[in-house]
Structure 1
Amino acid sequence: MKSALQLERILKICGSTFLEIFNTFIINMKSKDKNHGKNEERTAKYLETFSREKTIKMLINNNEPIIFDVGANNGSSLDEFKEWWPNSHVHCFEPQDECMGELNESADSFVGSGSVYVNHIAVGNKSNEKIKFYTHDINSGVSGFNKINMDSKDSLDLNNLSKENEAKKKEYEKSLNHVREVSTLRLDDYIANHHTKIDSINLLKIDTQGFEPEVLEGFGDKLNHVDVVLTELMFYDYYERSLSFSDIEKYLHKANFQLYDISHIAKNPMNGRTDWVDVIYVNKRLLET
Protein backbone atom coordinates (compact mmCIF):
# COMPACT_ATOMS: atom_id res chain seq x y z
CA MET A 1 0.00 0.00 0.00
CA LYS A 2 2.85 2.30 0.89
CA SER A 3 4.52 1.56 -2.45
CA ALA A 4 1.31 2.33 -4.33
CA LEU A 5 0.96 5.68 -2.56
CA GLN A 6 4.58 6.53 -3.33
CA LEU A 7 4.05 5.65 -7.00
CA GLU A 8 0.94 7.80 -7.12
CA ARG A 9 2.84 10.73 -5.66
CA ILE A 10 5.69 10.24 -8.13
CA LEU A 11 3.27 10.19 -11.05
CA LYS A 12 1.58 13.35 -9.79
CA ILE A 13 4.95 15.07 -9.43
CA CYS A 14 6.10 13.85 -12.84
CA GLY A 15 2.80 14.82 -14.39
CA SER A 16 3.01 18.24 -12.83
CA THR A 17 6.61 18.62 -13.93
CA PHE A 18 5.80 17.49 -17.47
CA LEU A 19 2.92 19.95 -17.62
CA GLU A 20 5.16 22.76 -16.45
CA ILE A 21 7.82 21.82 -19.00
CA PHE A 22 5.21 21.62 -21.77
CA ASN A 23 3.72 25.00 -20.82
CA THR A 24 7.17 26.56 -20.66
CA PHE A 25 7.95 25.14 -24.11
CA ILE A 26 4.76 26.61 -25.58
CA ILE A 27 5.42 30.00 -23.98
CA ASN A 28 8.98 30.03 -25.30
CA MET A 29 7.82 29.12 -28.80
CA LYS A 30 5.26 31.91 -28.77
CA SER A 31 7.89 34.30 -27.47
CA LYS A 32 10.26 33.19 -30.21
CA ASP A 33 7.58 33.77 -32.83
CA LYS A 34 6.95 37.24 -31.44
CA ASN A 35 10.64 38.06 -31.43
CA HIS A 36 10.96 36.76 -34.97
CA GLY A 37 8.14 39.05 -35.97
CA LYS A 38 9.84 41.96 -34.25
CA ASN A 39 13.07 41.24 -36.10
CA GLU A 40 11.23 41.23 -39.43
CA GLU A 41 9.53 44.48 -38.47
CA ARG A 42 12.87 46.03 -37.51
CA THR A 43 14.38 45.04 -40.85
CA ALA A 44 11.38 46.34 -42.79
CA LYS A 45 11.51 49.61 -40.86
CA TYR A 46 15.23 49.91 -41.53
CA LEU A 47 14.74 49.43 -45.27
CA GLU A 48 12.08 52.14 -45.27
CA THR A 49 14.40 54.60 -43.56
CA PHE A 50 17.99 53.80 -44.51
CA SER A 51 20.28 53.03 -47.42
CA ARG A 52 24.06 53.20 -47.72
CA GLU A 53 23.75 56.81 -48.89
CA LYS A 54 21.44 57.82 -46.04
CA THR A 55 23.60 56.09 -43.43
CA ILE A 56 26.79 57.81 -44.60
CA LYS A 57 25.06 61.19 -44.86
CA MET A 58 23.73 60.77 -41.32
CA LEU A 59 27.24 60.09 -40.03
CA ILE A 60 28.84 62.93 -42.00
CA ASN A 61 27.06 66.09 -40.93
CA ASN A 62 28.90 68.38 -43.31
CA ASN A 63 27.81 70.03 -46.56
CA GLU A 64 31.40 70.39 -47.79
CA PRO A 65 33.13 67.18 -46.66
CA ILE A 66 36.70 66.25 -47.51
CA ILE A 67 36.70 62.85 -49.23
CA PHE A 68 39.56 60.53 -50.17
CA ASP A 69 38.49 58.23 -53.02
CA VAL A 70 41.13 55.48 -53.18
CA GLY A 71 40.55 53.35 -56.25
CA ALA A 72 38.57 56.03 -58.09
CA ASN A 73 38.63 54.00 -61.33
CA ASN A 74 36.64 55.79 -64.09
CA GLY A 75 34.98 58.33 -61.80
CA SER A 76 31.72 56.58 -60.95
CA SER A 77 32.29 56.98 -57.21
CA LEU A 78 33.31 60.63 -57.74
CA ASP A 79 30.02 61.22 -59.55
CA GLU A 80 28.16 59.59 -56.68
CA PHE A 81 29.88 61.68 -54.00
CA LYS A 82 29.30 64.89 -55.95
CA GLU A 83 25.64 64.01 -56.27
CA TRP A 84 25.44 63.55 -52.50
CA TRP A 85 27.51 66.65 -51.67
CA PRO A 86 27.86 69.10 -54.61
CA ASN A 87 30.37 71.26 -52.70
CA SER A 88 32.53 68.41 -51.45
CA HIS A 89 36.32 68.35 -51.85
CA VAL A 90 37.34 65.01 -53.35
CA HIS A 91 40.88 63.64 -53.63
CA CYS A 92 40.89 60.82 -56.20
CA PHE A 93 43.65 58.20 -56.45
CA GLU A 94 43.86 55.85 -59.42
CA PRO A 95 46.94 54.19 -61.01
CA GLN A 96 45.37 52.87 -64.24
CA ASP A 97 46.17 54.77 -67.43
CA GLU A 98 42.99 53.37 -69.01
CA CYS A 99 40.80 55.13 -66.43
CA MET A 100 42.35 58.60 -66.63
CA GLY A 101 40.30 59.84 -69.58
CA GLU A 102 36.91 59.26 -67.98
CA LEU A 103 38.12 60.19 -64.49
CA ASN A 104 39.52 63.55 -65.64
CA GLU A 105 36.39 64.21 -67.70
CA SER A 106 34.26 63.57 -64.64
CA ALA A 107 36.48 65.81 -62.50
CA ASP A 108 36.34 68.63 -65.07
CA SER A 109 32.55 68.54 -65.03
CA PHE A 110 32.56 69.64 -61.39
CA VAL A 111 34.69 72.76 -61.81
CA GLY A 112 33.16 75.54 -59.73
CA SER A 113 31.55 73.26 -57.16
CA GLY A 114 33.95 72.31 -54.42
CA SER A 115 37.26 70.93 -55.65
CA VAL A 116 38.49 67.70 -57.21
CA TYR A 117 42.11 66.54 -57.13
CA VAL A 118 42.98 63.69 -59.50
CA ASN A 119 46.13 61.79 -58.53
CA HIS A 120 47.40 59.33 -61.14
CA ILE A 121 49.10 57.07 -58.61
CA ALA A 122 48.51 54.00 -56.48
CA VAL A 123 48.11 54.17 -52.71
CA GLY A 124 49.95 51.80 -50.39
CA ASN A 125 52.16 51.51 -47.31
CA LYS A 126 55.28 52.94 -48.99
CA SER A 127 56.00 56.06 -51.02
CA ASN A 128 58.13 56.22 -54.16
CA GLU A 129 58.07 52.48 -54.68
CA LYS A 130 57.43 50.61 -57.91
CA ILE A 131 55.13 47.63 -57.44
CA LYS A 132 53.50 45.05 -59.71
CA PHE A 133 49.93 45.87 -60.75
CA TYR A 134 47.67 43.45 -62.62
CA THR A 135 45.15 44.60 -65.22
CA HIS A 136 42.51 42.58 -67.05
CA ASP A 137 40.80 43.07 -70.40
CA ILE A 138 37.41 42.07 -68.97
CA ASN A 139 36.97 45.02 -66.59
CA SER A 140 39.21 47.75 -65.18
CA GLY A 141 37.26 47.52 -61.93
CA VAL A 142 38.84 44.18 -61.02
CA SER A 143 42.44 45.29 -61.61
CA GLY A 144 44.78 45.56 -58.65
CA PHE A 145 47.88 44.35 -56.85
CA ASN A 146 46.64 40.78 -56.55
CA LYS A 147 46.53 38.30 -59.44
CA ILE A 148 43.26 36.64 -60.37
CA ASN A 149 43.38 33.03 -59.22
CA MET A 150 43.14 30.76 -62.28
CA ASP A 151 42.19 27.82 -60.05
CA SER A 152 39.40 29.73 -58.30
CA LYS A 153 36.53 27.60 -57.04
CA ASP A 154 34.40 30.70 -56.44
CA SER A 155 34.67 32.41 -59.84
CA LEU A 156 31.48 31.93 -61.83
CA ASP A 157 33.16 32.73 -65.16
CA LEU A 158 36.14 30.41 -64.70
CA ASN A 159 33.97 27.53 -63.50
CA ASN A 160 31.41 27.94 -66.28
CA LEU A 161 34.13 28.06 -68.93
CA SER A 162 35.76 24.93 -67.50
CA LYS A 163 32.49 23.06 -67.97
CA GLU A 164 31.77 24.44 -71.44
CA ASN A 165 34.98 24.58 -73.41
CA GLU A 166 38.63 24.27 -72.39
CA ALA A 167 39.75 26.31 -75.41
CA LYS A 168 37.45 29.20 -74.41
CA LYS A 169 38.80 29.04 -70.89
CA LYS A 170 42.39 29.32 -72.11
CA GLU A 171 41.43 32.29 -74.29
CA TYR A 172 39.71 33.92 -71.32
CA GLU A 173 42.76 33.34 -69.12
CA LYS A 174 44.93 35.16 -71.67
CA SER A 175 42.84 38.29 -71.08
CA LEU A 176 43.76 38.29 -67.37
CA ASN A 177 46.76 39.26 -65.23
CA HIS A 178 48.61 41.63 -67.55
CA VAL A 179 51.40 42.90 -65.31
CA ARG A 180 52.89 46.40 -65.18
CA GLU A 181 54.63 48.51 -62.56
CA VAL A 182 52.99 51.49 -60.87
CA SER A 183 54.25 54.04 -58.35
CA THR A 184 52.85 54.03 -54.83
CA LEU A 185 52.21 56.76 -52.28
CA ARG A 186 51.53 56.72 -48.54
CA LEU A 187 48.56 58.90 -47.66
CA ASP A 188 50.23 60.43 -44.60
CA ASP A 189 52.92 61.72 -47.00
CA TYR A 190 50.22 63.03 -49.33
CA ILE A 191 48.53 64.89 -46.47
CA ALA A 192 51.82 66.34 -45.22
CA ASN A 193 52.88 67.60 -48.66
CA HIS A 194 49.55 68.78 -50.08
CA HIS A 195 49.39 72.47 -50.93
CA THR A 196 46.13 72.87 -48.99
CA LYS A 197 46.01 72.05 -45.29
CA ILE A 198 44.14 68.81 -44.56
CA ASP A 199 43.33 68.62 -40.85
CA SER A 200 40.62 65.99 -41.14
CA ILE A 201 39.02 63.66 -43.67
CA ASN A 202 35.29 63.15 -43.42
CA LEU A 203 35.08 60.08 -45.65
CA LEU A 204 37.70 57.58 -46.77
CA LYS A 205 36.48 55.21 -49.48
CA ILE A 206 38.75 52.29 -50.42
CA ASP A 207 38.18 49.92 -53.33
CA THR A 208 41.52 48.30 -54.14
CA GLN A 209 40.69 44.62 -54.67
CA GLY A 210 42.40 43.24 -51.58
CA PHE A 211 45.02 45.97 -51.00
CA GLU A 212 42.96 47.70 -48.30
CA PRO A 213 45.29 46.79 -45.39
CA GLU A 214 48.26 48.48 -47.10
CA VAL A 215 46.19 51.60 -47.79
CA LEU A 216 45.20 51.85 -44.12
CA GLU A 217 48.76 51.19 -42.96
CA GLY A 218 49.95 54.05 -45.17
CA PHE A 219 47.87 56.54 -43.21
CA GLY A 220 50.02 56.07 -40.11
CA ASP A 221 48.83 58.29 -37.24
CA LYS A 222 46.69 60.32 -39.66
CA LEU A 223 44.10 57.52 -39.78
CA ASN A 224 42.66 58.84 -36.53
CA HIS A 225 41.84 62.08 -38.38
CA VAL A 226 39.33 60.22 -40.56
CA ASP A 227 35.65 60.24 -39.56
CA VAL A 228 34.13 57.43 -41.66
CA VAL A 229 35.69 54.59 -43.66
CA LEU A 230 33.77 52.88 -46.47
CA THR A 231 35.62 49.86 -47.79
CA GLU A 232 35.22 46.55 -49.55
CA LEU A 233 36.35 43.30 -47.93
CA MET A 234 36.81 40.23 -50.13
CA PHE A 235 36.58 36.71 -48.68
CA TYR A 236 36.44 34.55 -51.81
CA ASP A 237 39.29 32.95 -53.76
CA TYR A 238 38.82 34.99 -56.96
CA TYR A 239 42.21 36.55 -56.28
CA GLU A 240 45.33 34.86 -55.00
CA ARG A 241 44.83 36.82 -51.78
CA SER A 242 41.66 36.99 -49.71
CA LEU A 243 41.02 38.99 -46.55
CA SER A 244 39.24 38.75 -43.22
CA PHE A 245 37.96 41.43 -40.86
CA SER A 246 41.11 41.16 -38.74
CA ASP A 247 43.28 42.26 -41.69
CA ILE A 248 41.77 45.76 -41.66
CA GLU A 249 40.66 46.00 -38.04
CA LYS A 250 44.22 45.74 -36.73
CA TYR A 251 44.65 49.26 -38.16
CA LEU A 252 41.12 50.57 -37.64
CA HIS A 253 40.82 49.57 -33.99
CA LYS A 254 44.11 51.28 -33.14
CA ALA A 255 42.75 54.45 -34.74
CA ASN A 256 39.57 54.36 -32.61
CA PHE A 257 37.20 52.95 -35.25
CA GLN A 258 34.36 50.51 -34.78
CA LEU A 259 32.24 48.61 -37.27
CA TYR A 260 29.02 50.53 -37.87
CA ASP A 261 27.31 48.76 -40.76
CA ILE A 262 27.66 46.00 -43.33
CA SER A 263 26.02 47.93 -46.14
CA HIS A 264 26.19 45.24 -48.82
CA ILE A 265 26.67 41.47 -48.87
CA ALA A 266 27.56 39.76 -52.16
CA LYS A 267 26.49 36.11 -52.13
CA ASN A 268 27.80 33.44 -54.47
CA PRO A 269 24.91 31.74 -56.36
CA MET A 270 27.12 28.76 -57.18
CA ASN A 271 28.17 27.64 -53.69
CA GLY A 272 26.26 29.83 -51.25
CA ARG A 273 29.24 31.53 -49.65
CA THR A 274 29.72 35.24 -49.02
CA ASP A 275 32.14 36.53 -51.65
CA TRP A 276 32.58 40.09 -50.40
CA VAL A 277 31.00 42.77 -48.25
CA ASP A 278 30.94 46.56 -48.20
CA VAL A 279 31.48 47.81 -44.66
CA ILE A 280 31.23 51.16 -42.91
CA TYR A 281 33.51 51.94 -39.97
CA VAL A 282 33.06 55.06 -37.89
CA ASN A 283 35.47 56.86 -35.60
CA LYS A 284 34.11 56.56 -32.07
CA ARG A 285 34.55 60.27 -31.40
CA LEU A 286 31.69 60.92 -33.85
CA LEU A 287 29.38 58.79 -31.74
CA GLU A 288 30.38 60.58 -28.54
CA THR A 289 29.35 64.04 -29.75
Structure 2
Amino acid sequence: MKILVKFILDLFDTITEIKTTKFLKKILSNDINVLIDVGSHKGEYISNIIKNFKYNKIYSFEPNPKIFDELNKKLSNKKNIKLNLLGVGDCEKIETLHQNLESSSTSINELNTSSKYFKKKYFFLNPFNNKLVTRPIEIKVITLSSFIKNNEIPNIDLLKIDTEGYELKVIKGLGEEIKKIKFIHFEHHFDDMIIKNYNLSNIHNYLGKYKFQKIFKIKMKFRKSFEYIYKNNNQVL
Protein backbone atom coordinates (compact mmCIF):
# COMPACT_ATOMS: atom_id res chain seq x y z
CA MET A 1 0.00 0.00 0.00
CA LYS A 2 2.78 2.44 0.96
CA ILE A 3 4.60 1.83 -2.34
CA LEU A 4 1.40 2.31 -4.34
CA VAL A 5 0.55 5.57 -2.57
CA LYS A 6 4.07 6.90 -3.16
CA PHE A 7 3.89 5.93 -6.85
CA ILE A 8 0.59 7.80 -7.29
CA LEU A 9 1.85 10.89 -5.44
CA ASP A 10 5.09 10.92 -7.46
CA LEU A 11 3.11 10.66 -10.68
CA PHE A 12 0.89 13.62 -9.86
CA ASP A 13 3.86 15.59 -8.53
CA THR A 14 5.53 15.11 -11.90
CA ILE A 15 2.44 16.47 -13.66
CA THR A 16 2.45 19.49 -11.33
CA GLU A 17 6.16 20.01 -12.02
CA ILE A 18 5.61 19.94 -15.78
CA LYS A 19 2.84 22.54 -15.59
CA THR A 20 4.88 24.77 -13.29
CA THR A 21 7.99 24.48 -15.46
CA LYS A 22 5.98 25.42 -18.53
CA PHE A 23 4.86 28.60 -16.78
CA LEU A 24 8.39 29.39 -15.57
CA LYS A 25 9.65 29.05 -19.15
CA LYS A 26 7.01 31.52 -20.26
CA ILE A 27 8.05 34.21 -17.77
CA LEU A 28 11.81 33.55 -17.75
CA SER A 29 12.36 32.76 -21.44
CA ASN A 30 14.44 29.65 -20.67
CA ASP A 31 17.18 31.84 -19.17
CA ILE A 32 17.97 32.26 -15.45
CA ASN A 33 20.86 34.46 -14.39
CA VAL A 34 20.60 33.82 -10.63
CA LEU A 35 18.46 31.30 -8.75
CA ILE A 36 18.30 31.06 -4.96
CA ASP A 37 16.82 27.77 -3.79
CA VAL A 38 15.87 27.69 -0.10
CA GLY A 39 15.00 24.18 1.06
CA SER A 40 16.75 22.28 -1.71
CA HIS A 41 16.10 18.83 -0.21
CA LYS A 42 17.73 16.30 -2.56
CA GLY A 43 18.05 18.75 -5.44
CA GLU A 44 14.78 17.97 -7.18
CA TYR A 45 14.04 21.60 -8.06
CA ILE A 46 17.60 22.43 -9.11
CA SER A 47 17.81 19.30 -11.29
CA ASN A 48 14.66 20.40 -13.08
CA ILE A 49 16.08 23.89 -13.60
CA ILE A 50 19.33 22.48 -15.02
CA LYS A 51 17.34 20.29 -17.39
CA ASN A 52 15.06 23.04 -18.69
CA PHE A 53 16.94 26.35 -18.40
CA LYS A 54 20.21 28.03 -19.11
CA TYR A 55 21.59 29.41 -15.85
CA ASN A 56 24.60 31.38 -14.67
CA LYS A 57 24.53 30.90 -10.89
CA ILE A 58 22.54 28.85 -8.38
CA TYR A 59 22.71 29.28 -4.61
CA SER A 60 21.28 26.34 -2.68
CA PHE A 61 20.33 26.11 1.02
CA GLU A 62 19.61 22.81 2.77
CA PRO A 63 19.99 22.57 6.58
CA ASN A 64 19.44 18.82 7.06
CA PRO A 65 22.95 17.22 7.20
CA LYS A 66 21.79 13.77 6.05
CA ILE A 67 19.92 15.17 3.08
CA PHE A 68 22.72 17.66 2.35
CA ASP A 69 25.13 14.74 1.85
CA GLU A 70 22.83 13.37 -0.85
CA LEU A 71 22.45 16.82 -2.37
CA ASN A 72 26.22 17.28 -2.39
CA LYS A 73 26.82 13.94 -4.11
CA LYS A 74 24.23 14.80 -6.74
CA LEU A 75 25.22 18.38 -7.56
CA SER A 76 28.76 19.09 -6.32
CA ASN A 77 30.22 18.40 -9.78
CA LYS A 78 27.89 20.90 -11.47
CA LYS A 79 29.33 24.25 -12.48
CA ASN A 80 28.28 27.50 -10.79
CA ILE A 81 26.17 25.87 -8.09
CA LYS A 82 27.00 26.85 -4.50
CA LEU A 83 25.61 24.45 -1.88
CA ASN A 84 25.13 25.79 1.65
CA LEU A 85 24.50 23.59 4.70
CA LEU A 86 22.42 26.32 6.33
CA GLY A 87 18.89 27.23 7.30
CA VAL A 88 17.34 30.53 6.24
CA GLY A 89 15.03 32.70 8.33
CA ASP A 90 14.27 36.20 9.58
CA CYS A 91 17.36 36.51 11.83
CA GLU A 92 20.73 34.87 12.33
CA LYS A 93 20.69 32.30 15.12
CA ILE A 94 21.07 28.67 16.14
CA GLU A 95 17.73 26.92 15.67
CA THR A 96 16.26 23.44 16.18
CA LEU A 97 15.53 21.49 13.02
CA HIS A 98 13.04 18.64 13.35
CA GLN A 99 14.28 15.83 11.11
CA ASN A 100 11.08 13.99 10.32
CA LEU A 101 10.57 10.40 9.19
CA GLU A 102 9.48 11.76 5.83
CA SER A 103 12.49 13.91 4.99
CA SER A 104 10.53 16.27 2.74
CA SER A 105 8.46 17.27 5.80
CA THR A 106 11.53 18.17 7.87
CA SER A 107 11.09 21.66 9.29
CA ILE A 108 12.14 24.12 11.94
CA ASN A 109 8.47 24.09 12.88
CA GLU A 110 7.19 21.25 15.03
CA LEU A 111 4.69 18.62 13.91
CA ASN A 112 1.14 18.79 15.23
CA THR A 113 0.67 15.15 16.26
CA SER A 114 -3.00 15.82 17.04
CA SER A 115 -3.69 16.76 13.43
CA LYS A 116 -6.00 14.44 11.48
CA TYR A 117 -3.77 14.98 8.46
CA PHE A 118 -0.72 13.91 10.49
CA LYS A 119 -2.46 10.76 11.72
CA LYS A 120 -3.62 9.84 8.22
CA LYS A 121 -0.21 10.45 6.65
CA TYR A 122 1.84 8.64 9.27
CA PHE A 123 -0.55 5.70 9.25
CA PHE A 124 1.02 4.88 5.88
CA LEU A 125 4.55 5.95 6.78
CA ASN A 126 4.68 4.34 10.21
CA PRO A 127 1.79 1.82 10.45
CA PHE A 128 3.26 -0.13 13.38
CA ASN A 129 4.36 3.01 15.21
CA ASN A 130 7.81 1.48 15.61
CA LYS A 131 9.90 4.26 14.08
CA LEU A 132 11.09 7.55 15.53
CA VAL A 133 8.97 10.19 13.82
CA THR A 134 11.12 13.22 14.68
CA ARG A 135 14.76 13.70 15.58
CA PRO A 136 15.72 17.27 16.65
CA ILE A 137 19.14 18.70 15.80
CA GLU A 138 20.70 22.17 16.01
CA ILE A 139 21.38 24.11 12.82
CA LYS A 140 22.73 27.52 11.87
CA VAL A 141 20.20 29.95 10.37
CA ILE A 142 21.12 33.04 8.36
CA THR A 143 19.13 35.73 6.54
CA LEU A 144 19.03 36.15 2.78
CA SER A 145 19.53 39.85 3.33
CA SER A 146 23.02 39.33 4.75
CA PHE A 147 23.82 36.59 2.22
CA ILE A 148 22.87 38.74 -0.77
CA LYS A 149 24.86 41.69 0.57
CA ASN A 150 27.93 39.62 1.50
CA ASN A 151 28.00 37.96 -1.91
CA GLU A 152 27.29 41.24 -3.73
CA ILE A 153 24.42 39.75 -5.74
CA PRO A 154 22.92 42.59 -7.81
CA ASN A 155 19.67 40.86 -8.76
CA ILE A 156 17.91 37.51 -8.51
CA ASP A 157 15.69 36.16 -11.28
CA LEU A 158 14.03 33.50 -9.15
CA LEU A 159 13.78 32.77 -5.43
CA LYS A 160 12.27 29.36 -4.66
CA ILE A 161 11.23 28.58 -1.06
CA ASP A 162 10.09 25.20 0.27
CA THR A 163 10.65 25.20 4.02
CA GLU A 164 7.56 23.44 5.37
CA GLY A 165 5.90 26.30 7.21
CA TYR A 166 8.87 28.67 7.51
CA GLU A 167 8.33 30.54 4.25
CA LEU A 168 7.17 33.83 5.76
CA LYS A 169 10.28 34.10 7.94
CA VAL A 170 12.50 33.41 4.93
CA ILE A 171 10.76 36.21 3.03
CA LYS A 172 10.94 38.66 5.95
CA GLY A 173 14.64 37.89 6.27
CA LEU A 174 15.19 39.46 2.85
CA GLY A 175 14.61 42.95 4.23
CA GLU A 176 15.02 45.55 1.52
CA GLU A 177 16.95 43.05 -0.62
CA ILE A 178 13.56 41.70 -1.67
CA LYS A 179 13.52 44.50 -4.23
CA LYS A 180 16.27 42.70 -6.17
CA ILE A 181 14.09 39.65 -6.83
CA LYS A 182 12.01 39.28 -9.99
CA PHE A 183 9.96 36.20 -9.07
CA ILE A 184 9.27 34.28 -5.86
CA HIS A 185 8.08 30.66 -6.10
CA PHE A 186 6.92 29.04 -2.87
CA GLU A 187 4.80 26.23 -1.51
CA HIS A 188 2.10 26.77 1.11
CA HIS A 189 0.39 24.09 3.20
CA PHE A 190 -3.22 24.61 4.24
CA ASP A 191 -3.28 21.53 6.47
CA ASP A 192 -2.42 21.77 10.16
CA MET A 193 0.20 18.99 10.29
CA ILE A 194 3.03 21.47 10.79
CA ILE A 195 2.58 24.17 13.41
CA LYS A 196 3.02 27.66 11.95
CA ASN A 197 1.82 31.02 13.20
CA TYR A 198 0.77 32.55 9.91
CA ASN A 199 -1.46 31.90 6.92
CA LEU A 200 -1.28 32.61 3.20
CA SER A 201 -2.84 36.06 3.56
CA ASN A 202 0.11 37.09 5.76
CA ILE A 203 2.53 36.21 2.96
CA HIS A 204 0.29 37.79 0.31
CA ASN A 205 -0.07 41.05 2.24
CA TYR A 206 3.63 41.25 3.05
CA LEU A 207 4.62 40.72 -0.58
CA GLY A 208 1.98 43.22 -1.63
CA LYS A 209 3.75 45.94 0.36
CA TYR A 210 6.70 45.47 -1.98
CA LYS A 211 4.49 45.48 -5.10
CA PHE A 212 4.59 41.73 -5.69
CA GLN A 213 1.60 40.27 -7.53
CA LYS A 214 0.39 36.65 -7.57
CA ILE A 215 0.59 35.37 -11.15
CA PHE A 216 0.46 31.59 -10.74
CA LYS A 217 -1.27 29.04 -8.51
CA ILE A 218 -1.46 25.26 -8.73
CA LYS A 219 -2.79 22.64 -6.34
CA MET A 220 -0.71 19.61 -5.43
CA LYS A 221 -2.94 16.57 -5.95
CA PHE A 222 -4.08 14.62 -2.88
CA ARG A 223 -2.54 17.27 -0.62
CA LYS A 224 -3.82 20.41 1.03
CA SER A 225 -0.93 22.30 -0.56
CA PHE A 226 -0.51 24.82 -3.36
CA GLU A 227 2.43 26.32 -5.21
CA TYR A 228 2.46 30.05 -5.95
CA ILE A 229 4.57 32.37 -8.06
CA TYR A 230 4.67 36.10 -7.36
CA LYS A 231 6.03 38.74 -9.71
CA ASN A 232 7.85 41.91 -8.62
CA ASN A 233 6.03 44.70 -10.43
CA ASN A 234 8.82 47.15 -9.58
CA GLN A 235 11.27 45.17 -11.74
CA VAL A 236 11.67 45.88 -15.43
CA LEU A 237 11.24 42.37 -16.92
TM-score (norm 2): 0.84
1:177 and 2:130 are equivalent in the alignment: no
More helix by share: 1
More strand by share: 2
Contact 2:30 2:54 in 1 (8 A): no
What does 1:235-254 align with in structure 2 at a 5 Å threshold?
A: 235-241=190-196, 243-254=198-209
Instruction: Tell me by how many angstroms 1:243 deviates.
Output: 4.5
Partner of 2:95: 131
Gaps of 5+ in 2: 1-14
Gaps of 5+ in 1: 1-46, 269-274
Counterpart Cα distance in 2 of 1:231 and 1:122: 16
Partner of 1:25: none
1:209 and 2:158 are equivalent in the alignment: no
Contact 1:264 1:279 in 2 (8 A): no
Contact 1:233 1:243 in 2 (8 A): no
Counterpart Cα distance in 1 of 2:40 and 2:97: 15
Instruction: Tell me by how many angstroms 1:240 deviates.
Output: 2.3
Partner of 1:281: 230
Deviation by residue 1:63-97 (Cα, 9 ceiling, x = unmatched): 24200000011112111111122433110001111
Partner of 1:58: 26
Partner of 1:143: 106
Partner of 1:227: 182
Partner of 1:28: none
What does 1:33-112 align with in structure 2 at a 5 Å threshold?
A: 51-61=19-29, 63-111=31-79
Partner of 1:191: 148
Structure 1 segments, 4+ long, off by >6 Å, are none
Q: 1:152 to 1:97 in 2, by over 3 A?
A: same
Alignment RMSD (CA, Å): 2.3
Secondary structure, in 3 states, of the residue corresponding to 1:88? Answer: strand
The structure with the larger Rg is 1
Instruction: Tell me by how many angstroms 1:62 deviates.
Output: 6.0
Contact 1:264 1:277 in 2 (8 A): yes
Contact 2:35 2:158 in 1 (8 A): yes
